[in-house]
Amino acid sequence: MTRIDSPAREGRLDDEWLEADAFGGFASGTVGTERTRRYHALLLTATHPPAGRMVLVNGVEAWLEDASGNTRIPLTMQRYGDGAAWPDISASLLSFDTEPWPTWRHQISDTQVLTAEVFVAKDSACTVLRWRLDDTTLTLKVRPLMSGRDYHALHHENPAFNFDFTGMGDQIRWQAYGDVPAVVAVSNGTYVHAPDWYRNFCYTAERERGMDFNEDLATPGVFSFDLSRGEAVLVLSANEGAARSAAQLAGTEQARRTAFPSALQRSADSYIVARNEGSTILAGFPWFTDWGRDTFIAMRGLMIASDRLADAESILLEWSGTISEGMLPNRFPDSGGAPEYNSVDASLWFVIAVHEYLATGHAAQHTRNRLQQAVDAILDGYTNGTRYQIAADPKDGLLRAGVAGVQLTWMDAKVGDWVVTPRIGKPVEVQALWINALRIAAVWNPRWTEPATRATYAFQQRFTDPASGALYDVVDADHESGEIDRSIRPNQLFAVGGLPFSLIDNDATARAIVDQCEQLLLTPMGMRTLSPSDPAYKGRYTGPPLERDGAYHQGTVWPWLLGAFVQAWLRVHRDDPAARTQARERFLQPLHDHLHRAGLDHVSEVADGDAPHTPGGTPFQAWSLGELMRLERLLATDS
C-alpha cells in the first residue's frame, strides 16, 4: 500500500486512487482531491453490470466553519475555467494513505489534524465518506456535486435537472433525471436544501488528452456536521435498499480487505466484476470494460497464479458460451447490443488460459470436458476459416488473418478509417499463440498433433531474419506471399517466452531475439512497441486522440509485455535461483516502485518510449498488474 507525506512538496497531488465496487462501478480521484478527469467521481454506478456506467455524484465541496461563519477552512480543491485552482488546500495537506482505504490528513491548527476517508463497501456498492477532528468547535459543511450522466460524457447546466429531494429520518433522496438511478444519502448530520449550479470545472487530464474539459455540476444542498459529537459520516448509494450504518459497512469492508494475502492481490480484486450470472475482468479503470484479449491475458496473473481458481473457472465458462465461428468476442459494447468479434488472438489467449487453469487440477471432469470442447471449436473454426480471412494457410499450416480497415491483433489502434498498425498476413505472436493452442489441444485430441508439427516447422523456416538472427514481425504481409515486415517489435518474444511452449529450439536464435529486444526495446516500465531506430517511432504518448493513437504501438511502452521478456530472458540466461534473483532486481523492482506512482497500488497501461518514461493511458490496467503478479509467482519458485 502507498503512503505519501507532504504530497504537495513531493509533487504527488495528481496521483490517483481507485475504489471499485465489483459491479463495474467505482469511486476515484486524486491525492490532492481535485478532479482532473471526467471519470473522477464518488458515486459512479454500472446500471447493467459491468456496463451502462453513469456518474451520479462527481464529488463534494467540503470545508470547516467556526460558529460565526466568518472562518472557512477548505478541505477539497477544485479547478475552474482554463485552469485556476480554488481553494488551494495543498499547504494544509499533511499526508495521504491508501491503507486501509484512501485517507487524508489535514493540518487545521497547530494542535488539530483532521482525518478524511473514502471507501467503497463492495457488498453494497455504497461509497462512505468520513471525517474526524477531535476537540473542536468547528462545523463541517459538505456540498454534493452531482450530474447523472454517462461516464464518458460531460454535464452542463440545464433546466431539466431535478433538484427536488425527499427525506426520511437520516436519509435524503435525489433523482437528477427520470431515467437515471436515484442517489440515496445517509448521514449523521443535518441537511439544508439550497439548490445551485457550480459552473465551468476544469479537468486538466482531459485537456491534456485533447478532449472537452469543462463541466457544470448541480448541487442540491448542504450537509452540516457537529464534529464535537464525533466523526461525520456521509454514505452515498445508488441502491435504495443498500444504505446501512457506516460502522457496519466499515467493519465488513475492513475485514474483507485484510483477508487478502498480499497488497497486489487486493489491488487485483478491483478488476473482477459481475457479468450475467458469472464474473468477468475489466481491462482497466477508468474507461475500459471487459475485453476478451485483456481478460485472458490478465487472468493468468490476477487469478490462476493467485489461486483464485473458482473465479477463473467462472469466467472461462462464461466466455466459452460466446464462441461464434471459432471466435470469441473481443469487446462487449458499453451500451449493450451484440458483442464485437474483431480479434484474431482473443480466442487463442482463451486457449492459453484454459491450459493453465486445467493444469492446476482444480476443474471437475464436466468443466474440463466443456472447456476442451470450446478449445476444439476454436481450432476447428480457425482451421476451416472464419471472419476477416482468419484461416490456417493450407500451404504451410500457419495462421493468416486480416482485411483492410480492421485491426485484429493486440496492436489495435484505429482512428476513423486509419488502422495504425494493420499487420495483415501472418503476425509473429499470432503464430506463437496458434502453435501453442494446437499443442495444448493435441494432449486430449491427437488430430491436432500433425498441424502443430507442420506449423512449427514452417515457423522456424520462415520467420528468422538472417541479418539479425531475430524474428520478422509479419510474414506474407498483406497476404502477399514472401512479403516481409522487418519492424523490430516485442511481439517476437512470444516465440521464446510468455507462453507454455517455446517455438525456438535454436539457442542462438533465442538469444538473438532476447538481445535485440533488451538492447532496443527494454525500459524500466516494460517494452517499447517499436525500435527507436525505426523512422515511424514515436517517443511520447501524449496530445489529442489522433496523436496518441498514432503513438500507441509505435514506440509507446507496455508493462504487460515484460512477462514475455522476463521468461525469454530466463531461458537464454539459465533459469536458476541466481538468475531469478537478478531478474527480480533488474526487471520487477522498477514496476514495484511504480506501484507508488500514478495509479496508486496499480500498474499503468502504458508509458512514454522516451525517458523518463512517463506513465500514460489508464492508470489502473488489469493485464499490467496481472503480468507483474504472474512474474512474482514465477520468480518466487526455486524449481
Instruction: State mean pLDDT over 179-195.
Output: 96
Q: Tell me which residue of 15, 34, 11 sits closest to 97, measured CA to CA.
A: 15
pLDDT at position 339: 81
Confidence band, pLDDT 50/70/90 cuts, at residue 69: confident
Question: Residue 247 pLDDT more than 90?
Answer: no
Confidence band, pLDDT 50/70/90 cuts, at residue 278: confident
Q: Cα–Cα distance between 323 and 597 in angstroms, integer?
A: 39
pLDDT at position 71: 87
Q: Cα–Cα distance between 350 and 366 in angstroms, integer?
A: 18
Question: Residue 246 pLDDT more than 80?
Answer: no
What residue has cell string 456536521?
225
- Looking at CATH, the fold of the domain delimited by 7-258 is given as Beta-galactosidase; Chain A, domain 5 (2.70.98)
| Beta-carbon contacts of residue 607 (< 8 Å; ≥ 6 apart) | 523, 525, 526, 541, 556, 557, 559, 613, 614, 615, 616
Distance set, CA 605 to CA 51, 114, 370, 494, 532 (Å): 20, 34, 33, 19, 20
pLDDT at position 489: 98
Calculate the CA 123 to chain-centre distance.
21
Grid cell of 138 as nine digits? 468547528
Question: Strands, E, within 6-112: which ranges?
Answer: 16-20, 26-30, 41-48, 51-65, 72-74, 78-80, 84-86, 93-97, 103-107
Spell out the alpha helix ranges (H) of 407-561. Answer: 428-442, 449-462, 507-520, 545-551
Calculate the CA 319 to chain-centre distance.
19
Q: Cα–Cα distance between 127 and 18 in angstroms, integer?
A: 12
360-390 per-position pLDDT tens digit:
999 999 999 999 999 999 999 999 999 999 9
- Going from N- to C-terminal start, the domains of the chain cover 7-258, 521-639
Question: Residue 279 pLDDT more than 90?
Answer: no
Question: Residue 639 pLDDT more than 70?
Answer: no
- Three-state SS string across 456-479, please? HHHHHHHCECCCCCCECCEECHHH
**269-285: burial string, b at 16+ Cβ within 10 Å, e else:** bbbbbebeeebbbbbbb
Q: Cα–Cα distance between 490 and 459 in angstroms, integer?
A: 17
pLDDT at position 333: 66
The residues facing 142 across adjacent strands are 62, 223
The residues facing 250 across adjacent strands are none
- Average pLDDT in the chain: 95
Count the Cβ atoms, other than its own, within 10 Å of residue 449.
14
- Identify residue 114 by its one-letter amino acid code: L
Q: Tell me which residue of 563, 536, 543 sits closest to 614, measured CA to CA.
A: 543
Calculate ∠ Cα 620-627-525, nearest 5°: 65
pLDDT at position 335: 61
The residues facing 61 across adjacent strands are 143
pLDDT at position 243: 60
Instruction: State mean pLDDT over 291-316.
Output: 96
Instruction: State mean pLDDT over 255-265.
Output: 94
Question: Strands, E, within 66-182: which ranges?
Answer: 72-74, 78-80, 84-86, 93-97, 103-107, 113-121, 126-132, 139-150, 165-168, 171-174
Question: Residue 113 pLDDT more than 70?
Answer: yes
**191-209: burial string, b at 16+ Cβ within 10 Å, e else:** beeeeeebebbbbbbbbeb
Grid cell of 492 as nine digits? 517476437
Q: Cα–Cα distance between 160 and 47 in angstroms, integer?
A: 21
Residues above pLDDT 70, as percent of the chain: 98
Question: Residue 195 pLDDT more than 70?
Answer: yes
Question: Residue 638 pLDDT more than 80?
Answer: no
Indicate the pTM of the whole model.
Answer: 0.96
Q: Cα–Cα distance between 169 and 96 in angstroms, integer?
A: 33
Grid cell of 310 as nine digits? 473458482
Confidence band, pLDDT 50/70/90 cuts, at residue 275: confident
453-475 per-position pLDDT tens digit:
999 999 999 999 999 999 999 99
pLDDT at position 637: 63
Instruction: State mean pLDDT over 104-114.
Output: 95
Question: Residue 47 pLDDT more than 90?
Answer: yes
pLDDT at position 207: 96
Element (H, E) at 195: strand 190-202
The secondary structure of residue 398, as a DSSP letter, is P
Question: Residue 158 pLDDT more than 90?
Answer: yes
Q: Cα–Cα distance between 433 and 441 in angstroms, integer?
A: 12
Residues above pLDDT 90, as percent of the chain: 90
| Beta-carbon contacts of residue 105 (< 8 Å; ≥ 6 apart) | 93, 94, 95, 96, 113, 114, 115, 116
Can you tell me whether residue 351 is helix, strand or coil?
helix
Element (H, E) at 258: helix 246-258
- Pair type for strands 84-86 and 78-80: antiparallel
Question: Strands, E, within 327-456: which ranges?
Answer: 391-392, 399-400, 414-415, 418-419, 426-427
Confidence band, pLDDT 50/70/90 cuts, at residue 39: very high
Instruction: State mean pLDDT over 1-9.
Output: 94
Grid cell of 21 as nine digits? 465496487
Burial class (CB in 10 A: 0-12, 13-18, 19+), 386: buried
Spell out the alpha helix ranges (H) of 523-596. Answer: 545-551, 562-572, 577-583, 589-594
